[in-house]
Amino acid sequence: MAAVTTQRGATLIELMVALALLSSIAVLSAQLVIQSTRLIDTTARASRNPDLVIATEWIRRDLYEAVAVVGENLGWSEGPLVLMTQSGGWVALSPFEGRLVRTNAPPGSVLPDNRVLLRGVVGWRWRMNEGGAVQIALEAYANPDAHRNLTGAADFRLERRTERLTLALRGRPGGVAW
């Protein structure tokens, strides 16, 4: 009768497999921490000035749906940014007396729709870069303590913030494309 031997400890292959699994878990958890940090930064920025975030989201949406920019130039312009829409209308973004105003004119409309996107605008400029993307620099006053100022009194701090956007036009006649 043959003697049965029992194995104690782990083989080198088992240790290598365990090390590979632990390394994979470490890499995935590091990526999760990086993404969480970015999300926290974005959320903190939005809570400091939600009006600026909402205005930039309107600008993003308008540029994504645009077919062309009227009066394209490679130099910086402080004038209105006029976008042709897929439906044949146009949208204009322009600074006016410290506000950023969005004017929407659907095709066949008699009166365009004007909406104030942001108040406290102190700087606005845009340009088309060589790759066909639109670059925007929007500087506005931000109220980081607006959520604490429940009385509406004008004693809150104001800071100047600059948002820089670079967005490509995605709209194409007949549908949205990259």
> 34 and 61 in one domain?
no
For residue 1, tell me if it sits in a domain: no
Mean pLDDT of 84-111: 88
For residue 7, tell me if it sits in a domain: no
Q: Is the pLDDT of residue 144 over 80?
A: no
Q: What tens digit of pLDDT does each residue of 1-31 get?
A: 566 667 677 788 999 999 999 999 999 999 9
How confident is the model at residue 25, as a pLDDT? 95
Q: Between 155 and 109, whose confidence is greater?
A: 109
For residue 86, tell me if it sits in a domain: yes
> 78 and 22 in one domain?
no
Of the pLDDT bands very low, low, confident and very high (cuts 50, 70, 90), residue 65 is confident
**Cβ partners under 8 Å of residue 124, min gap 6:** 78, 94, 95, 100, 136, 137, 138, 139
The DSSP bridge partners found for residue 108 are none
Percent of the chain with pLDDT over 90: 22
Give how many domains the chain has, as a whole number: 2
Distance CA 164, CA 129 (A): 14
CB atoms within 10 A of CB 52: 25
For the chain, the distance separating the N- and C-terminal CA atoms, rounded to the nearest angstrom, is 75
**Backbone angles phi and psi of 38, in degrees to 5:** -65, -40
> 84 and 25 in one domain?
no
Q: Is the pLDDT of residue 145 over 60?
A: no
How confident is the model at residue 45, as a pLDDT? 64
Nearest 10 degrees: CA dihedral of 63, 137, 101, 109? -20
**Token digits for 146?**
């607006």
Distance CA 34, CA 82 (A): 38
**Token digits for 38?**
């970015």
**Token digits for 114?**
């004007």
Domain that holds residue 25: 12-48
Continuous segment of H or E residues that includes residue 55? helix 50-65
How confident is the model at residue 23, as a pLDDT? 95
